[in-house]
Structure 1
Amino acid sequence: MVLDVFFTVFPLLQLKDGNMKADLEAALPAGREDFAIQCRDVCRSYGKLKVLNNLNLTVPQGQIYGLLGPSGCGKTTLLKCIVGTLKISRGHITVLGKPPAFPGHDVPGKMVGYMPQELALYNEFTIGDTLTFFGRIHGLTRKETKARMDFLIDFLDLPQKTSLVRNLSGGQRRRVSLGAALLQNPELLILDEPTVGVDPVLRSKIWQHLVEIVRTGKVSVIITTHYIEEARQANVVGLMRNGCLLAEGPPDAVMKQHSATTLEHAFLQLCETSDQNGSKRGSSPPGGPLENSQSFESGKDESRPILAVGAGAAEEVPKYSADWKVRARHFLPKWRNIAALMIKTMVRMKRLPGSLCFQFLLPVIQVSLICLCVGGDPKGIQVAVVNNETSPTAYSQSLLSFLDNTSVQQVHLSHEEAFDGIYNAEYWGVIGFGKNFTSYLTKRMIQRQVSREVVDGGSVHVWLDFTSKMQKPFLYLNTDFTTFVTPGAVLSITFYLAVGLTALSFVLERKEGLLDRCWVAGVSSLETMLAHLFSQLFVISVQIILLLLFILLVFKMPNEGSLVLVIILIVLQGVTGISFGLVISSAIDDEQSANQAALGIFYPNLIISGIIWPVECIPYPLRYLSLALPQTYASEALRCIMYRGWGLSRMMVWRGFAVTLGWNTFFLILATVILKLRT
């Protein structure tokens, strides 16, 4: 082995003066180009929990490195640090010559093939869709993607490329995930538990392929596995426990060093030695030679493997620099990635036609319910009538004939029956006429002065049931309330349906490992944001068209202004809703909390944004909050456009556009920053 020239296995757990001490028997060569990965004094913490503890690791170029260790020892965290999706707390990592995520360096990117521990596949995709998606991100041509796809489907013994991922077995899905990692022929291949759930024949075939690509393609491979003996096929193994590397070297040399017949036995001996030395440290008296309380903080912990350069010289961390043009290209979004992500979203929509149709029809249903059920005249109100006049030519009969019979259903009863009915909630009110109503009313109209008896006898007496009163009695209802509510309701529906489209986007993808896989493929948080925004624009555009058709043509809402301004303002509100949904999705990890956040903001915003009641009626402490919300000025602007015919020259109109654009920009920046910080 080439590796034997550079490495001999080193006992990392030798006891010297009561301390664990790491030692390398052979020095590493000075040429950094001989190593695919170098990790030096790497630390990674989650709060107070140290996951990686002064870890040193070296992966030779063109070798298979088997990383072994129990669940929870930090293997997956280390791999994420290597590919650049997690930042280390301290130390230095070099991957293929430069630090991960260095400007102009395609790590993360096409130089790395990554298979996460999760399946990290889109269930709505076919096998062909999955490989095509990653081919687009890596910049492969259609011809290259097709050639690699045909090879991988045959090599991994996969079903037809038109098979949906959700219909595959667990083992088949894992093979598709492996195929996505192998697709672009990467220089570095990182496989996290690739052979779990795979039958022994295919497992052997995968290892043969890894050996082949390492030998012929100068590819370096890191593979983690629970099958310890399986790792004997690797050129180098690293035994990891509690965030530290216990040993690193060729498998046979590790077993020989510990007089073990199997790699598992050698690992067991290393773990026992580690536990024994750890307990000795813990029982050391304060101030004694075994005390090492400062070792972690000082970076001089002797329990870590130290790789010397030369004869005991400290390894110097190189400095890297990049041209400003390279840095600019690194931070600017790549339209190739945005297009790939947009196509991915469109394909997923296409595979869920029922959900897509529901999204299109839901706003139409909601605005129809508002126009039909809010602000109209009451219908079928039963009112008791007590008419003590019997003549068909009496004025009381004429007045009753003018009442709208669609709104009021007259029930003629005696005085006693009428009041019994209203007390029993059978009628909404009682209308009463005296027996001399006609003569008394005539006197009131003719004579200048009349007695109180004449005034009372010539009046219509009305008793109403006010237990369900919401505003004035029905006789005084304002039928324009629907007209007032509709513009704000359209904006509110557009905004919150857009929130619903995106509030769970990153939550689900993060949970399934899809986001991590995209990050490793070289997709940035800004590209992800823009792709989601542009993809959902299609959905909200269809929703807005259907909304306007219904409110203008079906319900005959007036529009005295520019239809173009109306459409632009509603679209901007939809985009703002998408941006707000992305903020929720970026900041929250579980579906229940994301749903609660989206729903919890709905009613306060609806109530105090001037949508269902004028802002002027809101008390002053809350009015300031109301004016700061995204839909308050926008609702006012839409009413001014539709009902007054105003344009952008009016402050009340352009102010609504300006506030909407401001909130949209703020939400997009906030979502991008949160997603960047969390990755």
Structure 2
Amino acid sequence: MEEHFKKCGAINVVNVSKGYGSRHNQTVLNRLNLSVESGSIYGLLGSSGCGKTTLLSCIIGLHKPDNGHILLFGKEVNGVAGQVVGFMPQDVGLYDSFTIEETFVYFANMYNISYAILNERLAALQDLLSIPKLSSPIKSLSGGEKRRVSLAVTLIHRPKLLVYDEPTVSLDPLLRVKIWGYLTKLVKSDGITILVTTHYTQEALHCDKIGILRNGRLLVEENPQVLLDKFNTNLLENVVLDLCRKDEVSDSDQNNGAMLMKTEADHEQAHNDALTYDLARHMDLCDVEVVGIGQNSLKDSGTDSFSSKLTKIKGLVKRNWINELRHFQSVCNWFGTKGLQLGIVNQDLKYLHGIPEHCDDEKEPTYSCIFMKQLEVTELLNTVLKFQETYASETDALQSVVHGRATGYLIVPNNFTEHLNNRFLLKQYSDNETLNGSTIGVRLDFSEFIRRVFLLRALTNGLQTSLQKIVQGFGVDPRTTELPLRFNAIYGSVDSTWRDYFMPTYILFSIFILQTVAGLFHIQDKRNGTLQRTLVTGVTYTEVLISYILSTIPILVVQIMAMIVLMSWEVEIAGSWWLVFVQVFLTGLSGVMIGLICASIFNHEMEVVVAVLFIFLTCQSLSGITWPLDSVVLGLRMFCYALPTTIPLTAMRSIMNRGWDISNPQIPIGLAISFAYTFGCFLIIVLVKKYQK
């Protein structure tokens, strides 16, 4: 087998082209030919943007070339090569929230390595690379320590090919020398093949062969010392400079893959050799097979077993849990408007200097005290109002509102009790003095609509109840003080509060927006290079998505149950608790997938945050929370109903406030909408990733 590898070479790139854009019109690799011998170090030199990283991603199987073929050890790449390759991205590709030990365990799960074998290999790597304590968090390590840990991760499964994307960038020169010394030792002692990219020309002297890449084309492939001799220079940088100058004035399409020669005849011969460098030759030479997605070794051409896939998903789920729990930020929102300050100027209690709490000392309470006590015991008012300020004059009360210390104040006039008695007795014969003296003045801050509605309803209901108690004390039927209207509830209660309306909204939207945080974890995974590194192990994108769903489920269940239990103390749920749970659960899963779809489309955290906020605010504005959808124009109404929260929210209200069950069509439709968004977003993400590849 080893002789077979050496004969075929470790890597053979044949006429590979790769472009980006909607029509692949942005060419990155242009008919590239490249060969890497087994048991050697191949250095790929080139400036930023020349195509080095794109070429590596095609070699390891993360991207598929538009044209041409790539062979690893005589087998054509058709997907991720898996355990054959150890890959280290330009970024260290480690999770900052992990410890060093958790990092190695995670990648061991991805490569299906047992803990016993991992501990054995880790002990050797820890001494060799001077890795810090395994309990150390990755985020606490220095740049050099992170590089060493990242390097060790590529070696735990003992691959035949190591692919490093600028492993020494931004490192201390002494550390760069140490890393190159270790790579050279690996090649000599274990026969490992190493492909490394760099833009440090002097580092390339450590390589057995280098390739100089420019504008997606390979200018030369040769031993660095041979190049120095041919160009009669001591600096490899001069060789690169001279080749780039020649490339500027030559026909770049004619020298792709050509060997450097001094004469025109040699150059033409090299060009002809490159043209005959075709796939058929390698198929005859190497007995080409296909390395498929999920293949773990060159000996096994099958796919992962079920237990292997289960181990990988288990590792991914554990990764998600660690990330979420160590980035946990509790959301503590007490849904209520308790503590709105309302002052009072009670001139009906002159002998008590207008101090309302002394109403309890009265043998015969005044009507103003009855009114205030009623406000204090009314459920609605106890939630909304808080009498903490009493004032001797209206001027003091007004100043408290101006300075933001109170929402408003009540003015109880002098002799309010006496005037109100006269008003009851005189009725239509009451004079202005009696009418004015029996009227409580209310001055409120009306700049906020919601608060105004709460306060007006609270004060009106409180006064209505107080009057009923007063007339009842005189033996009068309390119904005489009521308006000639009688309200009866079909669903809910006549006395239902704002909580009954907003609680379904609060529960559903809180769970929905909390789950979109999965998108932030995913975009960080992409940006840090850890996702790319995970996919190189043979994990499919579908498995990554499944892991997010599975890791979210237990957290989602705890969040929903805690929220429902806490809210049940304040709000009665008329319908089934299980239906409420299932509806919120499915809506939470749709939030996970919406967050992930944003992370799959965009490339920066801020873009994902803005996209998620846009979706959330759109749903919040157009889901019928603040305005009934029946009064919206038809076109906009259809858009509103298509949102992921509108119909589920309607179903939630029907379950909690109306007591509807699954037999009512509105409930299964709400459940179906949430499920459809979850499954639909899942498919969209898979298709987007397939297109991006």
Q: Distance in 2 between matches of 1:180 and 1:636?
A: 50
The answer for the alignment partner of 2:187 in structure 1 is 210
Q: Distance in 1 between matches of 2:75 and 2:507?
A: 53
Contact 1:341 1:531 in 2 (8 A): yes
SS of match in other structure, 1:222: strand
The answer for the alignment partner of 1:60 in structure 2 is 37
1:488 to 494, 505, 514: 505
Deviation at 1:137, TM superposition (A): 0.6
Q: In 2 relative to 1, CA 401–273 (structure 1 residues): closer, same or farther, beyond 3 Å?
A: closer
Q: In 2 relative to 1, CA 112–308 (structure 1 residues): closer, same or farther, beyond 3 Å?
A: farther
Which deviations, in whole Å up to 9, do the C-alpha atoms of 1:579-613 show, x marking residues without a partner? 11111221222222222222233333223323455
Q: In 2 relative to 1, CA 335–384 (structure 1 residues): closer, same or farther, beyond 3 Å?
A: same
Which deviations, in whole Å up to 9, do the C-alpha atoms of 1:368-411 show, x marking residues without a partner? x21x327x9x76353666899xxxxxx99558734535368799
* TM-score, normalisation: structure 2: 0.75
Deviation at 1:496, TM superposition (A): 0.6
The answer for the alignment partner of 1:586 in structure 2 is 600
The answer for the alignment partner of 1:91 in structure 2 is 68
Query: Mind listing any 5+ residue stretches in structure 2 that lack a counterpart?
Result: 259-269, 296-300, 351-363, 403-407, 462-494
Q: In 2 relative to 1, CA 425–239 (structure 1 residues): closer, same or farther, beyond 3 Å?
A: closer
SS of match in other structure, 1:637: helix
1:338 to 281, 289, 313: 313
Q: In 2 relative to 1, CA 227–101 (structure 1 residues): closer, same or farther, beyond 3 Å?
A: same
The answer for the alignment partner of 1:631 in structure 2 is 645
Deviation at 1:120, TM superposition (A): 0.9
Letter in 1 for 2:41: I
SS of match in other structure, 2:70: strand
Q: In 2 relative to 1, CA 440–516 (structure 1 residues): closer, same or farther, beyond 3 Å?
A: closer
Instruction: Give the percent of matched residue pairs that are identical in Structure 1 and Structure 2.
Output: 27
Contact 1:633 1:655 in 2 (8 A): yes
Q: Distance in 1 between matches of 2:179 and 2:11?
A: 28
Letter in 1 for 2:87: Y
Which deviations, in whole Å up to 9, do the C-alpha atoms of 1:490-536 show, x marking residues without a partner? 1111111111x213112212221112111212122111111122212
SS of match in other structure, 1:140: coil
Deviation at 1:551, TM superposition (A): 0.9
Contact 1:84 1:520 in 2 (8 A): yes
The answer for the alignment partner of 2:547 in structure 1 is 531
Contact 1:67 1:240 in 2 (8 A): yes
Contact 1:385 1:413 in 2 (8 A): no
Answering whether residue 420 of structure 2 is matched by residue 442 of structure 1, we say no
Query: Where does 1:75-474 land on structure 2 (aligned, <5 Å)?
Result: 75-102=52-79, 107-196=80-169, 197=171, 198=175, 200-214=177-191, 219-261=192-234, 263-275=236-248, 277-278=249-250, 301-305=253-257, 313=276, 315-316=278-279, 334-349=309-324, 352=326, 355-356=327-328, 358-359=329-330, 362=331, 365-366=332-333, 369-370=334-335, 372-373=336-337, 380-382=342-344, 398=367, 401-402=370-371, 404-406=374-376, 428=409, 438=421, 441-442=424-425, 444=427, 461=439, 464-465=442-443, 468=446, 470-471=452-453, 472=456, 474=458
Deviation at 1:170, TM superposition (A): 1.6
The answer for the alignment partner of 2:521 in structure 1 is 505
Which deviations, in whole Å up to 9, do the C-alpha atoms of 1:205-260 show, x marking residues without a partner? 3312222222xxxx432122344344344332222233221111333443344344
Q: Distance in 2 between matches of 1:547 and 1:224?
A: 52
Contact 1:60 1:220 in 2 (8 A): yes
Answering whether residue 49 of structure 2 is matched by residue 72 of structure 1, we say yes
Q: Distance in 2 between matches of 1:525 and 1:136?
A: 16
SS of match in other structure, 1:599: helix
Deviation at 1:80, TM superposition (A): 1.3
Q: Distance in 1 between matches of 2:136 and 2:397?
A: 69
Q: Distance in 2 between matches of 1:578 and 1:148?
A: 37
More moved, 622-631 vs 131-140: 622-631
SS of match in other structure, 2:319: helix
Q: In 2 relative to 1, CA 605–349 (structure 1 residues): closer, same or farther, beyond 3 Å?
A: closer
Q: In 2 relative to 1, CA 311–480 (structure 1 residues): closer, same or farther, beyond 3 Å?
A: closer
Q: Distance in 1 between matches of 2:197 and 2:274?
A: 32
2:556 to 536, 540, 544: 540
Q: In 2 relative to 1, CA 379–622 (structure 1 residues): closer, same or farther, beyond 3 Å?
A: farther
Letter in 2 for 1:560: A
Deviation at 1:134, TM superposition (A): 1.3
Cα root mean square deviation, aligned: 4.2
Q: In 2 relative to 1, CA 456–160 (structure 1 residues): closer, same or farther, beyond 3 Å?
A: closer
SS of match in other structure, 2:219: strand
Letter in 2 for 1:65: Y
Q: Distance in 2 between matches of 1:663 and 1:335?
A: 26
Contact 2:122 2:156 in 1 (8 A): yes
The answer for the alignment partner of 1:282 in structure 2 is none
SS of match in other structure, 1:503: helix
The answer for the alignment partner of 1:14 in structure 2 is none
Contact 2:323 2:521 in 1 (8 A): no
Q: In 2 relative to 1, CA 230–593 (structure 1 residues): closer, same or farther, beyond 3 Å?
A: closer
Q: Distance in 1 between matches of 2:291 and 2:140?
A: 46
Answering whether residue 532 of structure 2 is matched by residue 516 of structure 1, we say yes
Contact 1:125 1:165 in 2 (8 A): yes
Q: Distance in 2 between matches of 1:526 and 1:265?
A: 48
SS of match in other structure, 1:380: strand
Q: Distance in 2 between matches of 1:560 and 1:462?
A: 38
More moved, 107-116 vs 462-471: 462-471
Which deviations, in whole Å up to 9, do the C-alpha atoms of 1:304-346 show, x marking residues without a partner? 1257898975725679789999999589993222111112223
The answer for the alignment partner of 1:25 in structure 2 is none
SS of match in other structure, 2:12: strand
Query: Where does 1:24-63 land on structure 2 (aligned, <5 Å)?
Result: 34-47=8-21, 49-63=26-40
Q: Distance in 2 between matches of 1:127 and 1:434?
A: 77
SS of match in other structure, 1:548: helix
| Count of residues paired in the alignment | 596
Letter in 2 for 1:442: L
Deviation at 1:192, TM superposition (A): 2.2
The answer for the alignment partner of 1:298 in structure 2 is none
Contact 1:124 1:165 in 2 (8 A): yes
SS of match in other structure, 1:589: coil
SS of match in other structure, 1:93: strand
Letter in 1 for 2:27: K
More moved, 265-274 vs 542-551: 265-274
Deviation at 1:57, TM superposition (A): 0.8
SS of match in other structure, 1:334: helix
